[in-house]
Structure 1
Amino acid sequence: MPSRRKSPQFGPELGAFASARARNALATLGQMALAVAVAVVVAVISLNAISRVEWPAFPSSNQLHALTTVGQVGCLAGLVAAGWAWHAGRFRLLAQLCGLVFVSAFTVVTLGMPLGATKLYLFGISVDQQFRTEYLTRLTDSAALHDMTYIGLPPFYPPGWFWIGGRAAALTGTPAWEMFKPWAITSITIAVAVALVLWWRMIRFEYALLVTIATTAVTLAYSSPEPYAAMITVLLPPMLVLTWSGLRADARERHASVALNAESHAGVTLGDSAARGWAAVVGAGIFLGFAATWYTLLVAYSAFTVTLMALLLAASRWRHSKKSALDPLRRLAVIAAIASAIGSTTWLPYLLTAAHAPVSDTGSAQHYLPTDGAVLTFPMLQFSLLGAICMLGTLWLVVRARSSVRAGALAIGVLAVYLWSLLSMLTTLARTTLLSFRLQPTLSVLLVAAGTFGFVEAAQALSKRSRAVMPVAGAIGLAGAIAFSQDIPDVLRPDLTIAYTDTDGYGQRGDRRPPSSEKYYSAIDAAIQRVTGRPRDQTVVLTADYSFLSYYPYWGFQGLTSHYANPLAQFDKRAAQIESWAKLKTADEFIRALDKLPWPPPTVFLMRRGTSNTYTLRLAEDVYPNQPNVRRYTVEFKAALFADPRFTVETIGPFVLAVRTPVASA
């Protein structure tokens, strides 16, 4: 009687696979934690050392630029040494540690050295940086999630970056405005170090160093003024590759093309096909959730790209197997569920309040259409070093998109930027935009990542003909890296100049020239405290000098513009109320109007002196789709409105400070 064939036993294999997956995930998390620690240590030590020296101002001296170049070259040399040590098979753990140290140091020296003589970050305390500093000040004053300006409202702007920075400021006793620069540089450094870990978990360490330093340099040049955007931007390329591999992981083919030289990502290639890729799916969900608490535009773009990936996979499989076509959509649903759960930690308070509270119907953050938002951008056609590497990346994507997971993921990311841009132009018909111009740094970073891989693969192909190719390619690559890196301070020069010419919270300028009217803010704050006797976070201020709210955690009655205002604040109705006060003639009328407001009324008025015995505020109105998208106008209050014992009026420098005198309790 023939013996029966034994049925396959999957238990031990699946158990071993699950164990391997768990070890791989833990190893990745451990290395990411190490990367964060290294980045923080390097940033803190370096920034502290830089701050101890009296440097000349960057706009008026080339010394800081020269020292920045020296530091960059030293870091690049260190990365070359780390790559060589790994390639030689010696001291590999030390090579990884050195890689983390030198990419972190590169980031710190590129931003920290040019800013060495000022306490302000890029773009100083002007325009966008004004409301960002205000947000950091708010979350330094309290760990509770609040709107940056309006009392009693949940945050509309994602608070993640600001909350962590605020906690760091509160823990160290540093003023929030002063913490902005070190936290911005440190946070970008952390993201760069984590990006290196993500890359080396997927590809050979030497190539991970190359693509990380290339994308870091471009991110620092074009995205660093917005630090939380820079963090997501530098992490996007490896996360898109990881997400693409996770979405398509149930396909029969092995995804060895994720890695160069067949060095593959264990979470993608190990185990049964039905179970492959779930670690990548979970990682993608965590990243999107993190981005949702960080920056709305980039999480929207990232979600759009991931959705596009899933739809392309489903469409390509539909003809062969409907069941197989549904798998990417199931994985997409898991990503969405994880991201929503994480994002809800900051978005849920706003959404619950907006469900029953009135929302402003005019003005929004999307009401902005500069020239860059009206055209498609093609960095690969620029006659520059950046244009050359982007062109190489474009060619590599075209050739390798179907055969390489890396190329496929980056190609979809690039395609998504252009689709997003076209959709943004179309949404102007609905009197809004998708702010596509802000994705230009993202596009450049994706193309540079592709260009790095293209450069490596081209050099490898040519090296089969001659051994001299690799040294030549290395020399060209190193020269290009130095040339681009040393130009970053010049790219950032306008933002650096403002960091030195704006007046900081101590009433000083980084270029040591006479400060502007902000030098009176400390006296104004002291006067408010003397009259009200209340904590700052219990006082509402009406002012057009919004940087005052950036330095001190008072609440504002009205925001800078409707584009930065919480929709729950009803910006347009508040503006109408302010304008109506200009028609009043007596203090009694004014106080009655204040007491009837549907919002907590201002008790402090910080104004400028006008003509004909008036006090003025310079406010803003949304005039989109016109460009500029904001119209400034002046509101004049009669001085008689404040000529009453119920107000204390002082002139401090160019300011008129009127404080409503607290009513003594019975």
Structure 2
Amino acid sequence: MTTNDEVRAGRRVAVGVGEGLAAALVALAVAAIGLFAFSAVQWPAFNSSNVTRALTTVGQVVSVALLVVSVLLIRLRKWPVVAKLASWVGISSFVTVTLGMPLAATKLYLFGISVDQEFRTEYLTRLTDSAALRDMTYVDLPPFYPAGWFWIGGRVGNVLGMDGWEVFKPYSIGLLAIAATVALVLWAQLVRADLAVGAAAAVTAMTLAYASPEAYGAVLVVFIPPVLVLAWGALHRRSGGWGAVLGTGVFLGVAACFYTLYLAIAAFTVVLMAVVAAASAVYAQRSARRRIGGRSTANLSATPESSATVGESASAPWRAVIAPFTKLVAIGGIAIVLALVVWTPYLLKMAGGAKMPSGNAFHYLPASGAQLAFPMLEFSLRGALCMIGVLWLVVRAGSSRRAQALGIGVVAIYLWTLLSMVATAAGTTLLSFRLEPVLLALLAAAGVFGFIEGTRAVYQALNEPAPLRTACAVIAALGAMAFAQTIPTVLTHEIDTAYTDTDGNGERADRRPPSAVSYYRDIDAALRAQTGRARDESVVLTADTSFLAYYPYWGFQALTSHYANPLSDFKARAATIADWSELPDSPALLAALTESPWRAPDAFLFRNDGDTYTLRLAEDVYPNDPNVKRYTVAFPKTLFTDPAFTATEFGPFTLITVRR
């Protein structure tokens, strides 16, 4: 690369970073203003009224209109700054209104505090309480699940003076709006500006519909398609492309800090790209040598350029693999350095001789993980866009770098899915079912490119009738709007749960009677008063682990082994709890607590059941589906007659604190 090329590349990177920062600030302002405005009005619940649905549609129309205006200005080459601002505001407002308006009457995010959202809220609560990298449940353990998204959210909650459960919704929506807008800026560095708007909008819409419940993963999904284009741009070149290497490495490093599975599929795809690039380079080198071998060396050497060609082609073909694999190593090195920011405590603990007896995170195989997903064969708007994307990927595989990059990404997902199915024979999986949002995002981007190129081909084949271009634009806008307004319908269950779950204030957003969670506030007050300690200084044994999602107490046992830190020894803890319940009397229980190999509970939060206190625990029963079996452990009340135990009843709960 010449010096001028290096300067231009550096300037382009600097401009891209600057625009990304500006876009992030715009998106932050849009999300903050929008969410504040939504919260300022007393809206009816989404699950009992169509008011917020109607207003969501209005907001989506305005957002799509801004994106259309942006594309028109780009095509007309007018007011480029206005065009960029319109696209940034359009896509960030689309995210904000599509998620924020349906959830406007609740303080909870999609899925409330139910299912997986419970442990995610617990993690955010832990890191809101303290910036230290600590496990979500277990005291004195470093985190196993990547802390990046949760740590940032915890700092946001700390600055805003909000509890973890309360900051979850605005933080999730705001960061996703920022991510979608910055991804648009990245697209604009890789493809024509109008194509960038279309691709970013399609990927964002798919992400909102199918990935937004996992907010910490969704912020990566919107980046994966353009990052793969960026990575392929680096790996297929014989020289240069180091800016793309840096960008790819940074993304993989951030993914390692946010979501391990998406890191795995992205890294797997990049490695596959390097292999394909190396094989292509070797093939091209051998082909060049064969061509040169059949010609006169003297004729080919008539010019300096031809002499260089001869020299390059005469080198051993295997040397062609050096460039892509050197860049791959550089990408990996950058990613590892960034990953160590959150993984260092855990790795140090492992290096100290800790074992992993209870790592069951991969023990889940739903029906969707046992078959290949073919969204392109569905009779729907989603299916149509994906089918156009598949056709474009196949037709343009030999001539378009974009198609090659996205196509390798799609192939990688199907390969990963097959590997996951094979892994079931070894008693585990690779959780391939969670990659469907990534597949949809890749096919959506390809679908946009295919639609634009396809309509251009038809336009030219029909001798360029002027109304056809307008008609195609109208069809695209109508299709986009039709899909956009179905997103709340796709998320109906997740939205409804946010209204039916009881929040940290003891209220349900649908104004119906709250669940037993409403007693948590009184339990928290009593626990602190009786122990005399701060929340993060007490360990609580309870099966109602949502209590730990609202208040940053340490837990003695996690919800299930799948969410438990592998260093926690989940099975042994479960066996110990069962052993405690079978002890003869209070002195024996107090002695057992003293001799516990882990820090013993400072309090028990039971359910009251006649003459016993009960805990409803869980065990892993993979390969069964469901993969969790619930069972009840009953503690006779006679175990807590010693004065060292203080029992207080709260509705269906009994809190027992331990004085040592």
Range of TM-score over shorter length: over 0.9
Q: Match of 1:649, SS?
A: strand
| Corresponding residue for residue 201 of structure 1 | 189
Among residues 248, 256, 279, which one is paired with 1:315 in the alignment?
A: 279
Q: Distance in 2 between matches of 1:326 and 1:377?
A: 36
| Corresponding residue for residue 507 of structure 2 | 508
Q: Match of 2:655, SS?
A: strand
Unpaired segments ≥5 residues, structure 2: 286-316
**Quick one: which amino acid aligns to residue 570 of structure 2?**
F
Q: Distance in 2 between matches of 1:86 and 1:351?
A: 49
**Quick one: which amino acid aligns to residue 651 of structure 1?**
E
Q: Distance in 1 between matches of 2:194 and 2:572?
A: 58
Q: Distance in 2 between matches of 1:99 and 1:486?
A: 19
Q: Distance in 2 between matches of 1:197 and 1:473?
A: 25
Query: 1:354 and 2:345 equivalent?
Result: no
> What's the CA shift for 1:402?
1.6
Query: 1:457 and 2:453 equivalent?
Result: yes
| Corresponding residue for residue 118 of structure 2 | 130
| Corresponding residue for residue 326 of structure 2 | 330
| Corresponding residue for residue 214 of structure 1 | 202
> What's the CA shift for 1:358?
3.4
Q: Match of 1:293, SS?
A: helix
Deviations 1:297-348 (A, max 9, x none): 0000000000000011112222422111221111100000000010011112
| Corresponding residue for residue 644 of structure 2 | 646
Q: Match of 2:513, SS?
A: coil
| Corresponding residue for residue 630 of structure 1 | 628
How do 1:375-386 and structure 2 match up within 5 A? 375-386=371-382
Among residues 241, 246, 256, which one is paired with 1:277 in the alignment?
A: 241
| Corresponding residue for residue 261 of structure 2 | 297
| Corresponding residue for residue 73 of structure 2 | 85
Q: Distance in 1 between matches of 2:155 and 2:358?
A: 34
Q: Distance in 2 between matches of 1:469 and 1:246?
A: 37
Among residues 612, 618, 621, which one is paired with 1:620 in the alignment?
A: 618
How do 1:23-422 and structure 2 match up within 5 A? 23-250=11-238, 274=239, 276-319=240-283, 320=285, 321-422=317-418
Q: Quick one: percent identity of the two aligned structures? A: 54
User: Are 2:61 and 2:481, in contact at CA under 8 Å, matched by a contact in 1?
Assistant: yes
Q: Distance in 1 between matches of 2:554 and 2:658?
A: 15
User: Are 1:357 and 1:568, in contact at CA under 8 Å, matched by a contact in 2?
Assistant: no
Q: Distance in 2 between matches of 1:513 and 1:357?
A: 51
| Corresponding residue for residue 657 of structure 1 | 655
> What's the CA shift for 1:205?
1.4
| Corresponding residue for residue 437 of structure 1 | 433
Q: Distance in 2 between matches of 1:303 and 1:79?
A: 32
> What's the CA shift for 1:583?
0.9
User: Are 2:358 and 2:567, in contact at CA under 8 Å, matched by a contact in 1?
Assistant: no
Q: Distance in 1 between matches of 2:260 and 2:141?
A: 18
Deviations 1:418-446 (A, max 9, x none): 00000000001111100000001111111
Could you tell me the TM-score, scaled by structure 2's length?
A: 0.94
Q: Distance in 1 between matches of 2:507 and 2:270?
A: 47
Query: 1:424 and 2:420 equivalent?
Result: yes
User: Are 1:43 and 1:185, in contact at CA under 8 Å, matched by a contact in 2?
Assistant: yes
Paired residues in the alignment total 625
Could you tell me the TM-score, scaled by structure 1's length?
A: 0.93
**Quick one: which amino acid aligns to residue 409 of structure 1?**
A
Q: Distance in 2 between matches of 1:530 and 1:363?
A: 36
> What's the CA shift for 1:572?
0.7
Q: Distance in 2 between matches of 1:342 and 1:503?
A: 38
Larger mean Cα displacement after TM superposition, 300-309 or 90-99: 90-99
| Corresponding residue for residue 536 of structure 1 | 535
User: Are 2:357 and 2:567, in contact at CA under 8 Å, matched by a contact in 1?
Assistant: no
Q: Distance in 2 between matches of 1:141 and 1:634?
A: 31
User: Are 1:136 and 1:177, in contact at CA under 8 Å, matched by a contact in 2?
Assistant: yes
User: Are 1:621 and 1:632, in contact at CA under 8 Å, matched by a contact in 2?
Assistant: yes
| Corresponding residue for residue 582 of structure 2 | 583
Q: Distance in 2 between matches of 1:485 and 1:359?
A: 47
User: Are 1:585 and 1:638, in contact at CA under 8 Å, matched by a contact in 2?
Assistant: no
Deviations 1:501-531 (A, max 9, x none): 0000000001010000000000000000110
Deviations 1:527-554 (A, max 9, x none): 0011011011100000000110000000
**Quick one: which amino acid aligns to residue 232 of structure 2?**
W
User: Are 1:359 and 1:569, in contact at CA under 8 Å, matched by a contact in 2?
Assistant: no
> What's the CA shift for 1:363?
4.8
Deviations 1:364-421 (A, max 9, x none): 1100000000000100000101001100100000010121110000000000010000
Q: Match of 1:201, SS?
A: helix
Larger mean Cα displacement after TM superposition, 96-105 or 202-211: 202-211
Q: Match of 1:636, SS?
A: strand
> What's the CA shift for 1:355?
2.5
> What's the CA shift for 1:467?
2.4
> C-alpha root-mean-square deviation of aligned residues, in Å?
1.0
Q: Match of 1:618, SS?
A: strand
User: Are 1:358 and 1:570, in contact at CA under 8 Å, matched by a contact in 2?
Assistant: no
**Quick one: which amino acid aligns to residue 190 of structure 2?**
M
**Which aligned segments of 4 or more residues in structure 1 are displaced greater than 4 angstroms?**
none
Deviations 1:558-594 (A, max 9, x none): 0000000000111011011001011102111001111
Q: Distance in 2 between matches of 1:397 and 1:217?
A: 20
Q: Distance in 1 between matches of 2:28 and 2:65?
A: 21
